[in-house]
């Protein structure tokens, strides 16, 4: 990395996630040989990531520098800030993690479930607590207001200067829990001098101020009161303030509450233990007890505000929930707006609920949701109080970062003192300058739905191809005479054929016959015994067959090609010394033996890697009949990279 030209070392700031996007918030603060992390968030897959459960930032830099990590700071308990920590702890240790009580309670559950609780120490903090991380970082927790309780802005005092990280925030002057934004403390730091402000840019495009969370209360109260039957209401499980208001309204209107969804149950339990939700115990009733109450005495609080496929509300809409059936007369209230990318599943869920006879109340015009992020006037207030020398807009897509930077410039911060960075940029900052000096690996790491395996880039491409066009498996048996021994066997999964199956089989057989007639002499020779280069033959047959199928089919399914060889593929008479061919494969007398070079696979994938044909091929020796060859597809390699050396999974 480039080093500072200043006599005193500069502070390095690296965002591994959270820039030009919403989610994956992960920050690295590095001074000399010490690293302090701030938050460790995840994001969720889009519809182009089949089989992916969560999306993490690329942690290559931290794996390579794990010996420098001294600790982590957590700003609040949202998934995009703490959701990835359990995955990180499987790769490197974090000696200590400091954070708010609610965030630490939620994080402890995650770490225990993942089996990594013993790899770190969780320490809970209170407002204005100061903690030391390593020898270079003194960190103060400053109470702010957000959509989740127990949220903080962070003041980081380093030898290079003071950095304020706003965390996620809005300026709520009437917070539900009575915990006010500690604006006085921010102003005090501003008076002393702040080198750099890193600030939330999420709503930088929206004029005005973000309404208080309390603005939702009268609208929720009105719609719940108007409901004649059961009320089913969904919101973000982590919106503790919103949940607290819903419970208060239910209690006032004489409704008991059934809670559905694991995350909702966990958050309510922790929030009650910490005093952020206050209600009587008998307000909650198990779902099986709700049948003892009239419909107008029931409120069901559930997850699923974003149309998640396995969420409780979506399963109710699909009539697949085991305990709750939506019926005529129910009122369903969506107290959340769809986040970008979730509009379609949310709308589909609403349609299904309406079809079941429910009265569904949703939409921005109903006043049932307010953002947890500040708008332009909130951002201006933050800038005015902190008065930083340098400004670093964060937590937002590019247009949001640009708008936030423009606001800062209008408030007197010179454009040369503002940095709009990308994930992976290394920012050096000291009292004399702030600039991008280097780049570290950035991107994403994808976690399989098993939550144990990482989805490599080539595997994701294969999954995308299979999801789009299916799999076409072809098993071919060739005799020692260079002719087909039996009719080719094909197996189709998710493939739409442009012709009858019998026509495809005939076309495959014809293509193989033509290819054998043209190339057999290139791969079979007599030198006192018959020697056949089955691997080379397989490659040629695969290329010819793929070319024919691509011409005949409009789609591009993954093609898995299996070549079955006779029991005695070669004779035992002396033969020239065996040498590996271009694929790193050695043919030995009496058998077909595959010797793969290190880091290299002999099969090629259907996404076009390796041989460029989009085909997986394998040689199956000493088998009887094409059925055995077809069965071998279960062990064929379908995600290799041909001659290409494997690389880290970074997309």
Query: For residue range 279-294, what is the model confidence (pLDDT) as tens digits?
Result: 999 999 999 999 999 9
pLDDT tens digits, 236-273: 999 999 999 999 999 999 999 999 999 999 999 999 99
Please state the rounded mean pLDDT for residues 585-605. 36
Please state the rounded mean pLDDT for residues 170-190. 96
pLDDT band at 575 (very low <50, low <70, confident <90, very high): very low
Please state the rounded mean pLDDT for residues 615-635. 41
End-to-end CA distance of the chain: give it in Å, rounded: 23
- Comparing 440 with 473, the larger pLDDT belongs to 440
> Of the ranges 436-445, 464-473, 475-484, 620-629, which is most confident?
436-445
pLDDT band at 579 (very low <50, low <70, confident <90, very high): very low
Is the pLDDT assigned to residue 546 strictly greater than 80? yes
- What's the pLDDT at 580? 42
- What's the pLDDT at 326? 96
Lowest mean pLDDT among 341-355, 502-516, 539-553, 560-574: 560-574
CA distance 566 to 625: 10
CA distance 454 to 452: 7
Please state the rounded mean pLDDT for residues 21-45. 94
- What's the pLDDT at 43? 84
Helices (H), 356-456: 376-386, 398-410
Under DSSP, is residue 333 helix (H, G, I), strand (E, B) or coil?
strand
Please state the rounded mean pLDDT for residues 602-616. 39
Q: Among residues of the chain, what percentage have pLDDT more than 90?
A: 61
pLDDT band at 168 (very low <50, low <70, confident <90, very high): very high
pLDDT band at 494 (very low <50, low <70, confident <90, very high): confident
8 Å CB contact between 86 and 39: no
CA distance 566 to 623: 7
The tokens for 356 are: 């079941």
Q: Angle of helix 376-386 relative to helix 183-192, nearest 10 degrees?
A: 50
pLDDT band at 512 (very low <50, low <70, confident <90, very high): confident
8 Å CB contact between 139 and 155: yes
- What's the pLDDT at 498? 77
CA distance 331 to 233: 8
Nearest partner of 383 among 171, 99, 605, 88, judged by Cα: 171
* Pairing state between β 11-17 and 26-31: antiparallel
8 Å CB contact between 180 and 145: yes
Looking at every residue in the chain, the average pLDDT score rounds to 84
Nearest partner of 20 among 392, 390, 400, judged by Cα: 400
8 Å CB contact between 95 and 120: yes
Domains annotated on the chain, with CATH: 11-209+371-448 (3.60.15.10), 213-366 (3.40.50.10710), 456-635 (3.10.20.580)
- What's the pLDDT at 603? 38
Show Cβ contacts of residue 495 under 8 Å, excluding neighbours closer than 6 positions: 469, 470, 471, 472, 555, 557
Indicate the burial class of 625 (C-beta count within 10 angstroms; 0-12, 13-18, 19 or more).
middle
Q: Among residues of the chain, what percentage have pLDDT more than 70?
A: 83
- What's the pLDDT at 568? 61
* Pairing state between β 530-532 and 52-57: unpaired
Lowest mean pLDDT among 126-140, 542-556, 605-619, 629-643: 629-643
Please state the rounded mean pLDDT for residues 72-81. 96
pLDDT tens digits, 387-400: 999 999 999 999 99
Instruction: Give the global pTM.
Output: 0.77
Is the pLDDT assigned to residue 135 strictly greater than 50? yes
- Comparing 283 with 601, the larger pLDDT belongs to 283
Is the pLDDT assigned to residue 582 strictly greater than 80? no
Is the pLDDT assigned to residue 466 strictly greater than 80? no
Lowest mean pLDDT among 318-322, 366-370, 488-492, 582-586: 582-586
- What's the pLDDT at 637? 30
Show Cβ contacts of residue 133 under 8 Å, excluding neighbours closer than 6 positions: 34, 36, 70, 71, 73, 96, 98, 139
Is the pLDDT assigned to residue 647 strictly greater than 60? no
Is the pLDDT assigned to residue 457 strictly greater than 90? no
Please state the rounded mean pLDDT for residues 310-337. 94
Please state the rounded mean pLDDT for residues 193-214. 97
CA distance 213 to 177: 10
Is the pLDDT assigned to residue 625 strictly greater than 90? no
- Lookup result for tokens 């001294």: 70
Residue 550: how many other CB atoms lie within 10 Å: 14
pLDDT tens digits, 522-537: 888 877 777 888 888 8
Lowest mean pLDDT among 95-99, 117-121, 143-147, 570-574: 570-574
- What's the pLDDT at 646? 29
8 Å CB contact between 630 and 618: no
pLDDT band at 451 (very low <50, low <70, confident <90, very high): low
Lowest mean pLDDT among 344-348, 362-366, 435-439, 551-555: 551-555
Is the pLDDT assigned to residue 353 strictly greater than 60? yes
Lowest mean pLDDT among 172-176, 287-291, 455-459, 605-609: 605-609
Strand pairing partners for 641?
Answer: none
Is the pLDDT assigned to residue 207 strictly greater than 60? yes
- What's the pLDDT at 388? 98
pLDDT band at 338 (very low <50, low <70, confident <90, very high): confident
∠ at Cα 255 (251, 259), nearest 5°? Answer: 90
Is the pLDDT assigned to residue 299 strictly greater than 80? yes
- What's the pLDDT at 549? 81
8 Å CB contact between 199 and 300: no
Lowest mean pLDDT among 202-206, 351-355, 451-455, 510-514: 451-455
Is the pLDDT assigned to residue 639 strictly greater than 70? no
- What's the pLDDT at 7? 60
- What's the pLDDT at 557? 83
Is the pLDDT assigned to residue 585 strictly greater than 80? no
Is the pLDDT assigned to residue 496 strictly greater than 60? yes
């Amino acid at each position: 990395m480039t080093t500072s030209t200043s006599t005193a070392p500069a502070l390095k700031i690296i965002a591994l996630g959270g820039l030009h996007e919403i989610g994956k918030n992960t920050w690295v603060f590095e001074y000399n040989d010490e690293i302090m992390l701030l938050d460790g968030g995840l994001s969720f897959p889009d519809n182009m990531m089949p089989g992916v459960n969560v999306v993490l930032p690329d942690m290559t830099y931290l794996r390579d520098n794990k010996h420098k990590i001294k600790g982590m700071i957590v700003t609040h308990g949202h998934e995009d800030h703490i959701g990835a920590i359990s995955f990180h702890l499987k790769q490197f240790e974090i000696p200590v993690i400091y954070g708010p009580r609610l965030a630490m309670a939620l994080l402890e559950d995650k770490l225990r479930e993942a089996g990594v609780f013993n790899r770190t120490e969780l320490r809970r903090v209170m407002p204005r607590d100061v903690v030391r991380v390593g020898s270079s970082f003194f960190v103060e927790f400053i109470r702010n207001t957000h959509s989740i309780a127990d949220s903080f802005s962070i003041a980081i005092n380093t030898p290079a200067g003071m950095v304020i990280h706003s965390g996620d925030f809005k300026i709520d002057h009437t917070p539900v829990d009575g915990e006010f934004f500690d604006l006085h403390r921010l102003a005090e730091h501003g008076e002393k001098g702040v080198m750099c402000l890193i600030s939330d840019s999420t709503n930088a495009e929206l004029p005005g101020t973000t309404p208080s969370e309390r603005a939702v209360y009268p609208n929720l109260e009105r719609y719940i009161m108007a409901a004649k039957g059961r009320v089913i209401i969904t919101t973000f499980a982590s919106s503790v303030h919103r949940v607290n208001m819903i419970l208060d309204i239910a209690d006032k209107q004489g409704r008991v509450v059934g809670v559905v969804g694991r995350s909702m149950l966990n958050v309510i339990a922790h929030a009650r233990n910490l005093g952020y939700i206050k209600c009587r115990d008998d307000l909650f009733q198990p779902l099986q007890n709700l049948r003892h109450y009239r419909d107008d005495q029931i409120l069901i609080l559930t997850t699923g505000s974003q149309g998640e496929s396995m969420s409780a509300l979506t399963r109710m809409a699909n009539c697949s929930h085991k305990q709750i059936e939506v019926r005529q007369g129910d009122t369903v209230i969506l107290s959340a707006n769809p986040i970008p990318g979730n509009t379609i599943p949310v709308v589909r869920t609403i349609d299904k609920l309406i079809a079941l006879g429910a009265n569904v109340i949703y939409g921005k015009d109903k006043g049932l949701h307010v953002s947890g992020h500040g708008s332009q006037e909130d951002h201006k207030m933050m800038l005015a109080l902190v008065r930083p020398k340098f400004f670093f807009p964060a937590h937002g897509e590019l247009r949001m970062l640009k708008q936030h930077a423009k606001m800062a410039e209008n408030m007197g911060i010179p454009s040369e003192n503002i940095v709009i960075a990308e994930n992976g940029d290394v920012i050096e900052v000291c009292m004399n300058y702030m600039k991008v000096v280097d780049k570290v690996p950035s991107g994403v790491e994808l976690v399989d739905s098993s939550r144990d395996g990482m989805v490599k880039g080539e595997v994701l491409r294969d999954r995308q191809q299979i999801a789009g066009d299916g799999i076409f498996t072809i098993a071919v048996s060739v005799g020692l005479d260079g002719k087909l021994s039996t009719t080719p066997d094909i197996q189709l999964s998710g493939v739409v054929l442009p012709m009858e199956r019998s026509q495809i089989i005939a076309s495959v057989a014809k293509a193989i016959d033509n290819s054998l007639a043209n190339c057999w002499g290139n791969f079979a020779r007599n030198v006192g015994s018959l020697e056949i280069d089955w691997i080379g033959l397989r490659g040629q047959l695969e290329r010819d067959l793929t070319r024919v199928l691509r011409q005949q089919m409009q789609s591009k399914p993954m093609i898995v090609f299996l070549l079955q060889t006779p029991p005695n593929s070669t004779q035992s008479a002396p033969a020239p010394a065996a040498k590996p061919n271009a694929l790193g494969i050695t043919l030995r007398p009496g058998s077909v033996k595959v010797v793969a070079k290190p880091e290299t696979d002999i099969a090629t994938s259907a996404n076009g890697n390796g041989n460029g044909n989009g085909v997986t091929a394998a040689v199956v020796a000493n088998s009887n009949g094409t059925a055995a060859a077809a069965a071998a597809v279960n062990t064929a390699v379908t995600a290799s990279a041909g001659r290409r050396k494997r690389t880290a999974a970074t997309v």
